[in-house]
């Protein structure tokens, strides 16, 4: 029971992260709220992955291939199942509207097979690659700070190059080479955050047994405020495309945002059933983002009410409606299609259903 209690704050933090993903996709414009969200919400997923690896406490001692095989199944299986469902959805939607863009469909297939991903599920292969890099780079190395410093420098320089190179018109080969380079770079950025989470977990657990809880809560508040205001000085960042703008500010804001979130859920709200529920089902929410247009449906529902909202309150209301509908998606998949996530083998599911 104690073991489960220690982990709920990580589920809650992941729940907040996936809600921020939904909220960030509602209004992609450059505004204070989005600047804050994008400054840390994807790094938080990587940090949480590192913390869970530290919690299991066996990833660096067991064989590399064992870990790679296990995580490949856990991450790539739902990646391809959600990608297939998305592809079918896009084809049906285009045919329904009387136009089929073959080039677009081919592009989605190429993105899927190359592990670049279509929509929010780009994160799943990126997480797998980042975890593999972490296991390869930090296995048996004591000078991890030096290695992390090298990764930060490399990804910062690469991010500045990609920020200039990707928007340019290039030949097809160069375009795809740069896209693969971006996949490699964003995974290395994720590796930095995984290392941070792996290193942070033990310290945070040790701090929880001490008597300095008020001080840590105050520290979390200060870090949250600092993250919000510093994020406004480094707008329009996007880990998906390795857009860091100012790399120093990017890494600083990401660490401030993730640590303040973790401190909040560790010491103030370690148990919240709603956030824990969304955290444990974050992969379903991420996988269905490109399939069912919940944001557009929510906007239509809100428009039917005839009510007027301020900009941010409107975005929040859309997010709330989307998350409520996400509950329906989660329950449908968990109850009737669990094999999408490989929680139940398809053959076993069909036998039991019969």
Confidence of residue 2 (pLDDT cuts 50, 70, 90): very low
Instruction: Render 86-112 in DSSP notation, one character per residue.
Output: HHHHHHHHHHHTT---HHHHHHHHHHH
Quote the pLDDT of residue 61.
Answer: 67
- State mean pLDDT over 155-183: 84
Statement: the pTM of the whole predicted model exceeds 0.75:
yes
DSSP E strands: which ranges in 69-208?
none
Average pLDDT value over all residues in the chain = 87
pLDDT at 348 over 70: no
Per-residue pLDDT of 34-83, as tens digits, reads: 999 999 999 999 999 999 998 887 676 677 888 899 999 999 999 999 99
Instruction: Render 13-45 in DSSP notation, one character per residue.
Output: HHHHHHHHHHHHTT--SS-HHHHHHHTTHHHHH
Quote the pLDDT of residue 175.
Answer: 81
Confidence of residue 4 (pLDDT cuts 50, 70, 90): very low
Per-residue pLDDT of 187-225, as tens digits, reads: 999 999 999 999 999 899 888 877 788 899 999 999 999
Quote the pLDDT of residue 295.
Answer: 83
Q: 343: part of which helix (H) or strand (E)?
A: none
Q: Which of 51-55, 93-97, 266-270, 277-281 is predicted with the least confidence, judged by mean pLDDT? A: 93-97
Angstrom distance (rounded) from CA 87 to CA 290: 9
Q: How many residues does the chain have?
A: 354
Residue 353 DSSP class? H
Q: Which of 96-105, 160-169, 177-186 is modeled with the greatest confidence?
A: 177-186
Q: Which two tokens stand for residue 320?
A: 């709330």
Angstrom distance (rounded) from CA 214 to CA 235: 32
Long-range contacts of 179-184, Cβ-Cβ distance < 8 Å, separation of 24 or more: 179/114, 179/116, 180/114, 180/116, 182/241, 182/242, 183/114, 183/115, 183/116, 183/125, 183/126, 183/129, 184/129
């Amino acid at each position: 029971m104690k073991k489960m209690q220690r982990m709920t704050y990580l589920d809650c933090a992941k729940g907040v992260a996936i809600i921020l993903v939904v909220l960030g996709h509602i209004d992609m414009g450059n505004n204070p709220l989005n600047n804050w969200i994008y400054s840390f919400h994807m790094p938080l997923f990587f940090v949480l992955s590192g913390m869970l690896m530290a919690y299991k406490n066996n990833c660096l001692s067991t064989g590399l291939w064992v870990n790679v095989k296990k995580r490949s199944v856990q991450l790539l299986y739902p990646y391809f199942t959600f990608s297939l469902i998305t592809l079918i959805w896009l084809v049906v939607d285009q045919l329904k509207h009387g136009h089929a863009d073959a080039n677009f469909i081919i592009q989605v297939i190429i993105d899927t097979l190359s592990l670049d991903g279509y929509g929010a599920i780009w994160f799943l292969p990126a997480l797998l690659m980042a975890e593999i890099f972490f296991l390869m780079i930090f296995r048996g190395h004591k000078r991890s700070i030096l290695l992390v410093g090298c990764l930060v420098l490399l990804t910062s320089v690469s991010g500045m190059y990609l920020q200039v190179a990707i928007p340019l018109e290039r030949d097809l080969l160069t375009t795809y080479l740069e896209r693969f380079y971006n996949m490699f770079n964003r995974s290395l950025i994720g590796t930095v955050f995984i290392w941070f989470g792996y290193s942070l977990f033990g310290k945070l657990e040790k701090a929880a047994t001490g008597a300095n809880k008020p001080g840590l809560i105050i520290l979390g508040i200060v870090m949250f405020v600092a993250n919000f205001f510093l994020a406004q000085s480094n707008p329009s960042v996007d880990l998906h495309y390795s857009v860091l703008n100012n790399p120093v500010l990017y890494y600083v804001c990401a660490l401030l945002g993730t640590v303040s979130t973790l401190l909040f859920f560790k010491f103030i709200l370690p148990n919240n059933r709603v956030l824990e529920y969304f955290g444990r089902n974050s992969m379903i929410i991420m996988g269905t983002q490109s399939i069912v247009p919940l944001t557009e449906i929510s906007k239509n529902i809100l428009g039917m009410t005839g009510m007027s909202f301020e900009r941010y309150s409107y975005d929040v209301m859309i997010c709330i409606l989307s998350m409520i509908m996400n509950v329906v998606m989660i329950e449908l998949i968990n109850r009737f299609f669990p094999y999408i996530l490989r929680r139940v083998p398809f053959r076993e599911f069909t036998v039991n259903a019969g």
